[in-house]
Amino acid sequence: MNAKFVLRSVLLVWIILWVIFLARQSKRGQYAELTYLYANEYGSKVRYLLGDDLEDLLAFSAENLPRGATYDITGFERFSIREVRARYYLWPLYRTEDDPEFIISYGDPGTSPPGYKEFKVFPGKGAVYSREEAI
């Protein structure tokens, strides 16, 4: 096998994969979304990916919870992309299910969990609860 044959084979496979990628059916709206993400600044991209409500709740939490605090976040399906994005946004805070200092509840806040008190409520967006002795 010579090098030209290998190079041509690799190039041919690469071209075929790109043709399949461009011709596939399930890319409706994909290019408009990519154009938006490339054209805007970081803050706009985050709001677009998270949604306004969740970004407002997470921005408040990131600014007002003490560094190194533990938290749990509710209102998502476990390990959904929105939960993972929210955890990434709140880094360096530490997420734990075992007796966190704060509970961030996305969506309809309802009542505070037992042993926690209301820290901040965002009507229609969610709430942040602190452990009774945390503050």
Sheet containing strand 102-106, edge to edge, reads 94-95, 70-74, 102-106, 126-131, 116-122
Give pLDDT, residue 31. 76
Which residue range is the domain that position 15 belongs to? 1-39
Residues in the chain where the model's pLDDT stays below 50 = none
Which are the contacts of 4, defined by CB distance < 8 A and separation ≥ 6? none
94 in the same domain as 120 = yes
Residue 117: inside a domain, yes or no? yes
What global pTM score does this model have? Answer: 0.70
pLDDT value of residue 72: 92
**pLDDT score, position 116:** 92
34 and 62 share a domain?
A: no
95 neighbors 103 (Cβ within 8 angstroms): no
